A and B are shown apart, each in its own frame.
Chain A
Amino acid sequence: MVAKEKFRVCPDTGFKVFQHTENLIKANAVVAVVFLLIGGLFGLLVALTRWQAIHLLPADLFYLALTAHGADVLLFWIIFFEVAVLYFAGSVLLNVRIAAPRFAWGAFILMLVGALMANVAVLQGESSVMFTSYVPMQAAPHFYLGLILFAVGALVAMFVFFGTLVVAKQEKTYEGSIPLVTFGGVVAAIIAVYTIASGAIILIPTLLWSLGYIAEIDSVMYKLVWWGMGHSSQQINVAAQVSIWYAIAAMVLGAKPLSEKVSRGAFLLYILFLQLASAHHLLVEPGISSEWKVFNTSYALYLAVLGSMIHGMSIPGAVEAAQRRRGYTQGMFGWLRKAPWGNPAFSGMAMSVLLFGILGGITGVVLGTEQLNLIMHNTLYVPGHFHGTVVAGTTLAFMAITYLVVPLIFRKEIIWPRIAQWQPYLFGLGVAGISVFMMGAGTLGVSRRHWDMTFSDAALNFDVPPAAFLMMGLNGISAVIASIGGVMFILVIVATLLFGKDRAEDACKTNPVILPDGGAVVATSGSEGVLKLPGTIALVSVFFLAFVLYYFVNWKYLSEVWPLS
């Protein structure tokens, strides 16, 4: 056995926090936030360039900024933060030391070096190939190498997490089954392993090709395997973010899952079916049969969508049940009105659930329908959709949990609670705007990844509909609002870490960030007839109706375009 590692007992939660765990969570979370800042800044530049009235950057810098934006926020911010979440879900929640801390630090350094290398490659200007780097367009070798190092580092971090679970099991630091949030973390990590493996499988030959050792890489095959990483990695986010929803509901309201069986079953559906989503990116490609497309794009029979729809019920359901137990039983939505809307962890979580479901989820299913993809592929509808998932969903959820991580792990009191209180609303509003207006522009046919929708330098001419310019202006304004929200987040967090008051040992009584004796207020779950959740039933009914309507409206649009077969 390893020598006993130092730990402290968290006075707020009673969890053991081991020293390595604490430092690793801090390091990964801080680096994540730095990449959020850098990537977010590039995103703002992109939005201000696409706002035709401002048209900020010249073409080459625009494509450079767009490449950097994708890599920094979609890969580096999110995966660094996910590693921090996994160390929390493994080591803290199971009260166990982290397995192989040296490997965990090695993973951190590899990821950091890789991320920096890729950034340098992009900033040098020879690798403006977009985040997707579709062959046969070629980037500098160190662009691919940076991504590979990052991926290998992330893979090592996943195995440290798995190792931590094994240690906890052996040392019997918990009884029965692992907590739901840890379970969600396991799901995220399993998806991460095959995701990262896909990335390595395609990027290693691509690196060799860029160095001249391999003559050719088939462009369709590249997309198939690359999206095995690119899309499936978004499902790591989904699993991590759903776990965070459960965690925040538990910490802030003492909410329990309505049914462990249902929630875990829904997570399992992710593992089994999410990786088929590579097909979403191949729906209008040559050389792939419709049978393959239909089966894969629907995650078999929409079974992964089923998983998300289940969480979409069980999260608000858990919140409603917890609130009703605490006495907020007035009418259908009394529990919702009395929810802690001034707590940024809760409001961020609530908006993440809402925006992810409606802006990200519904549009994702529509976009991923074989024939409907014809009227949306590579238009701005696509980034409109995924800003609804990755930014309004994942990023907002990560921000929300940060408001709990900082007092509990970093032991600092949030320095400007008023700013923190408004931050999720502002960010959520901005991102919702980005998502909606980009989808609007996409519906009008505006292309994504495109510097000039006026085509002023082109040999031929083409006029996009005037409404599209309005959409891009509104998108720019939304991006400014979201940026202000993002900057508020970073300011509050950084200032808190640097200048914030240390959190006192007895702060759990004087200034609780989590509900005292959280779980105890909620009775056992899953007992037939005990729970009446009319509010949740109403909410999911509205969601379902919107889903069905929007789905068929798009078929109507499709039926109006030129027949083709």
Chain B
Amino acid sequence: MALTPPENKHWWREPLHRMEIGWITIAFLWGLMMFGVMIYWHINGEQNLSNEAYRVDPETYGEKVEAFAEKYTVRTEGKNDTPVVKPPPGSDVYMLGRLWEWWPILELKKDQTYRLHLSSMDWQHGWSLQPTNINIQVHPKYEMVMTLKPTKSGEFGVVCNEFCGVGHHTMLGKIYVVDK
């Protein structure tokens, strides 16, 4: 019984039941398979998170994002007059998270690739693109760079999904994807 010492003192010498060997083998191979799928996806899959990141101090990052916004702003939107920025395809595009907004709004072209930079000005934030449902953690002092290709046009929300204080639920951003 599981509550008493094993009856067979040399329990490690007991032979395994066929069913046990079978199940352990299947479970082990399944583990190898799942391990392999992650590697396979790095080679052949299209959705892999970038490994490119830099240390950055928030002020420097903020200046970069502002310069970027100033250069490509096409209009403003919302209660805070958030700039809507339309950068050329293939270029470096920036977004920052701060209490409590994602800034600026981006307008991207469908089926074009962009190098998206993300960082936080203060606490941790969660960059959650909806309804596509891509979720990336954003840290202060880390600038993450990834290549992104919108494949659907329309209006997308960027929700903050890392708790960032009492205004967390008001933190939103936006990405427009246009056909032309």
Contact = CB atoms under 8 A, between A and B. Distances in A.
Nearest to A218: B141
A371 B47 contact: yes
Nearest to A377: B135
A17 to B, nearest CB: 13
Nearest to B41: A371
Contact of A136 (B12, B140, B143, B148): B140
B132 A447 contact: no
Nearest to A540: B23
B19 to A, nearest CB: 6
Contact of B47 (A256, A463, A559): A559
Interface in B16-35: 16-20, 23-24, 26-28, 30-32, 34-35
29 contacts: A63-B166, A137-B164, A219-B140, A247-B3, A251-B3, A259-B20, A260-B12, A261-B12, A284-B135, A284-B137, A302-B30, A302-B31, A310-B24, A370-B38, A376-B135, A378-B161, A379-B133, A445-B128, A450-B159, A450-B168, A450-B169, A462-B172, A464-B131, A527-B17, A531-B17, A544-B30, A559-B47, A562-B129, A562-B150
A495 interface: no
A115 B153 CA distance: 51
Contacts of A365: 34
Interface in B128-163: 128-144, 146-152, 157, 159-163
A59 B146 contact: no
B133 to A, nearest CB: 5
A506 interface: no
A455 B23 CA distance: 49
Nearest to B127: A284
B34 A298 contact: yes
A505 B78 CA distance: 75
Given A176-B5, A462-B157, A457 B47 contact: no
State the majority secondary structure of interface residues on A.
Answer: loop
Interface in B75-122: 77-80, 82, 101, 105, 118, 122
Given A457-B169, A526-B15, A220 B35 contact: no
Given A134-B162, A564-B148, A250 B157 contact: no
Given A284-B49, A518-B1, A447 B133 contact: no
Contacts of A565: 46-48, 50, 146-147
B134 A562 contact: yes
A17 B150 CA distance: 66
B147 A564 contact: yes
A331 interface: no
**Chain A interface bracket (under 10, 10 to 19, 20 to 34, 35 or more):** 35 or more
Nearest to A298: B35
Specify which of A219, A220, A369, A378 lies most central, judged by the most chain B CB atoms within 10 Å of its CB.
A378
B143 A286 contact: yes
A305 interface: yes
Given A246-B2, A445-B128, A374 B136 contact: yes
Given A259-B20, A302-B31, A174 B5 contact: yes
A262 B32 contact: no
Given A254-B1, A302-B35, A286 B172 contact: no
Given A60-B166, A284-B49, A531-B17, A447 B140 contact: no
Interface string A300-323: 011101100110011001100000
A500 interface: no
B77 A298 contact: no
A519 B147 CA distance: 61
B24 A561 contact: no
Contact of B170 (A218, A310, A455): A455
Contact of B27 (A174, A310, A317): A310
B78 A558 contact: no
Interface stretch (A140-148, A287-295, A421-429): A287-295
Given A261-B14, A298-B31, A302-B35, 9 more contacts: A175-B5, A177-B9, A256-B2, A298-B38, A374-B136, A376-B133, A528-B18, A547-B30, A565-B46
A411 interface: no
A455 B20 CA distance: 52
Interface in A228-256: 246-247, 249-251, 254-256
